Structures are given as C-alpha cells and as structure tokens.
Homo-oligomer: A and B are copies of this chain.
C-alpha cells in the first residue's frame, strides 16, 4: 500500500526496453523465422499509428476519459513470457551472505582472513617432507613432451601415421594407468591430493587426445590441399586468404612448439585448435574481481565443508538428503568458484578469448539439457572427439549417446574410487541413473515443472551419492578403529 510518483529518466527507459524486448521475443517465437521487415508488421505499425492519432483527437477534445487499463497478463504468469529475473539472482546472493554472516564472523575470528592453514595442508600431506601429489603432477610433463615429439616426427614424416597412432595411444594409456597405480601403491597420498593429481591427469588425457586428433586433421587438410595443387594450379582464394592470415596466425607445422603446447595445457579448454581467439588486453579490474571472488569463495567453501554435519547414523537416506541443503549449496558455490571465477581468471591472464565455460543450465527443462550445458569444456570435447567421429563412422545416434554417457560414468568412478581406494560403483550408477531420469522428465514434465524436477534431482540426487561414499569411507576407516577400541 505504498507508492511514489513517476519514475525518473534512466529507470523508465530501462523498463521500457525490457518490455519491448520481451514482446519482440514472443513475436519471434510465434513466427519461428524472424524476417525483420515483413508486411504484416508494417500493417500493425500503421494500425498503431492510427490508434495514436485517435488518441490525440480525444486529447484535443479536452481531458480524455483516461482509459487506464489494458488487457494484459501478470508478469509471473507463464502466459506473459517474461523471463528477466536477474534481481532474483542478486537476492539469492544477498540472502546467502546475510544468512551466513554469523558463520563468516565466527570463521574470521577463529582463523583470520585466510583459510585455516594446518587443516588444509593436512588434507594434502600426511608427512610434510614428502609431497607425493605434487611430484606426480610434475612428472606429467614427461607425457606432454612425449606427445609433442611424436607430433613433430609425424609432421616431418619420419614415422608413419600408424606408428604415430600406436605411440600416441601408448602415451595416453600410460597417462591413465601410471597415476592410478601410483596412488594405489604409494600410501602417503591423501584422498584430496589423490583427487587433485588424478584430476590433473584426466584433464591432460583429454587435452592430449584432442591435440593428437586436431593435428591429424591438419595433416589431412595439408594432404588434400597438396593433391588439389598437383591436379591444377587453381584455388587462388584459399591461398590468398592463407597468405593474408599468415602475418598473425600460425599454420600447421608451425604450431608444434613448446610455447604453443604449454599455452594449450594451461588454457581453460580441452579442445585444441590452431590460433585460439584472444582477448585484446588483460582487464585489470576484471582480474582483481575474479581473484577476490576466488579467495573469498575458497574461504566460504572450506568453512561450509568443515561445518556440514554428515548424518552417518541415519539409515533413511532420502530424508537425510533432503536436509542436506548445505551440500547442494557447496556444489553451487563450487560451480561458481570453478567455472566462473577460476576459469575466467586463468583465461584473463592468458588472454584466452572464449569464455563460454557454461551455458544457462539453470533454466534447463530436461536432464539432457542440464548435462549438455553445465560443463561446456567437457561437453565440447565429447562432441568434437567422441560423438561426432562415432557418427561419421556410421554408429547409431542412440548408441553413440549411450557410449558418451558410459565414458563419462567411467571417468566419474575413476576420479572418486581410486583416490578413496574403494570400488563401490556409486558414481557409475549415479551417472547411469541419469538415462532413465532423463527419459522420465522429457516424457512427463515440461516447462517450469521440468525445471523444478531437474533442480530436485540436483538437490537430492547429489547428496545421496556423496553420502554413500562418505558413509562407506567412515565405516572402513573409523568403523574398524571403534571396533578395535571396543575389543
């Protein structure tokens, strides 16, 4: 029951543009193929102008009857087609900060601005004089250089394509087996150190596979071009465009340098290409803001993880999971920390241009859309190096999709089971359970109901999988101790 007079300049303008754009979107949806200057629209404009003229006539007549109501829907009704809820996102952030203010204050009083250093270090190291995880990560350079030297040999033709492929596959297989074998045998590696080094190796595996594939494509193009050039000395456009581009861009064999290789290794992408798009300059304010976010959210994450209660005694897992809202918040904050703050920070430092690390998965109305849009680097890799090559080889579409899901489930299991030294298949089953869930949601739910179903599966499904592992881990490591203590 409160109000004020007319809004001021900038605000009014903003609202108007918002509503215009909404209308435009709706119109576009209705027509499907937007042609900017159709006859219908012009007619509509004329009608509107006519209406305005009528309005003027009425105004001239004296005070108008002031017809102040229009036929329209409320914004929150789904029929209105309105979708600008940026403010709700801000509300979530404000609420998160305010409701955790007490926690923040306590944490800062206890540990200071930085993260509790001893507890964090103890996650990585058992013995402060041996750094097994760090050593493992440093050793990975061997595999990177091996891939580079194989490619150099292939480029000059001293080894055949088949030999190169065998060498590459040997390199990639050992890239997966070596770290897992080390983690399983070296007892001084902690679970967190194990996850970190194994994650690094997995990322490296995907990157080097992409490197191999892309360079092979480059050789094929060079080969095709050479053939065409032999047949006839035509095709001047391509040659010219290559010539003009050569000033700034490198072409195939010129990319096989240490500098190019390590730029790709550190760049926030899994797909190799020649001449990545580069941003014009390093924006210092952007960099500092991302760095601040990284540090602040790191603090928040560690604080939340340390304080999350795991209801180990409760056997009714779904109910326990529904009270595991903090678990979901940790995942959301981790998502923002990793995919927005950290990857953007690295990209800004390296002037890497493509910042699409995620798409609008929060609006996803099907499970498939969620999996295809929350992690764009991995999704892009799967599409480019796994799914499309399979389709080109004539594999059935559904089979290819299932294969991608299987591979993804394998890597999930690999990343969780090896560091924890428990083979439980919960992660594998969790991933494979997505397939029937996706079918169910896409059949029976759509629109906002589908979106709510995706959110519920995220809020409830993830904590269950995490709880399974935590439960088993505690039973194995602390259950025995308590048993021993009892005896």
Chain A positions within 8 Å of B, measured between CB atoms, are: 1-8, 11, 14-15, 17-18, 20-21, 24-25, 28-29, 34, 36-37, 41, 54, 57, 61-77, 82-95, 98-99, 101-102, 199, 202, 214, 217-218, 220-221, 224-225, 228, 237-238, 241, 269, 271, 273-279, 322-323, 325, 336, 339-340, 344, 353-366, 368-369, 371-373, 375, 378-384, 387, 397, 400-401, 404-405, 408, 411-412, 415, 431, 434, 438, 442, 448, 451-452, 455-456, 459
Known: A1-B408, A64-B217, A70-B354. 20 other contacts (CB 8 A): A1-B202, A4-B372, A4-B434, A5-B387, A7-B372, A8-B442, A18-B360, A20-B28, A20-B34, A61-B228, A66-B273, A67-B273, A70-B353, A73-B355, A84-B360, A87-B360, A88-B92, A88-B362, A91-B455, A93-B452
CB neighbours (8 Å) of A384 from chain B are 66, 68
Contact of A88 among B74, B89, B278, B372 (CB under 8 A): B89
Main secondary structure of the interface of A (DSSP, over half): helix
Contact of A72 among B202, B214, B353 (CB under 8 A): B353
List 8 A–B pairs whose Cβ atoms lie within 8 Å, in order of A's numbering.
A4-B372, A7-B369, A21-B21, A54-B241, A71-B279, A72-B354, A84-B84, A90-B452
Q: A264 → chain B, closest Cβ, in Å?
A: 11
Q: With A1-B411, A88-B89 in contact, is A76–B15 under 8 Å at CB? A: no
State whether B357 touches A6 (Cβ < 8 A): no
Q: With A2-B371, A325-B98, A455-B90 in contact, is A353–B273 under 8 Å at CB? A: no
Q: With A224-B61, A365-B11, A372-B6 in contact, is A277–B71 under 8 Å at CB? A: yes
By beta carbon, the residue of chain B nearest A221 is B62
CB neighbours (8 Å) of A438 from chain B are 4
CB neighbours (8 Å) of A360 from chain B are 15, 18, 75, 82, 84, 87
CB neighbours (8 Å) of A238 from chain B are 57, 61
State whether B3 touches A404 (Cβ < 8 A): yes
State whether A358 touches B75 (Cβ < 8 A): yes
State whether A364 touches B408 (Cβ < 8 A): no
By beta carbon, the residue of chain B nearest A404 is B5
CB neighbours (8 Å) of A269 from chain B are 69
Report how many copies the assembly holds.
2
CA distance A271 to B401 in the complex (A): 58
Contact of A62 among B224, B372, B401, B456 (CB under 8 A): B224
Q: With A2-B408, A356-B74 in contact, is A322–B37 under 8 Å at CB? A: no
By beta carbon, the residue of chain B nearest A407 is B3
Q: With A65-B217, A66-B273, A387-B6 in contact, is A359–B41 under 8 Å at CB? A: no
Max chain B C-beta neighbours (<10 A), residue from A6, A94, A365, A380 = A6
State whether A3 touches B354 (Cβ < 8 A): no
Q: A31 → chain B, closest Cβ, in Å?
A: 11
State whether B371 touches A84 (Cβ < 8 A): no
State whether A65 touches B221 (Cβ < 8 A): yes
CB neighbours (8 Å) of A379 from chain B are 3-4
By beta carbon, the residue of chain B nearest A269 is B69
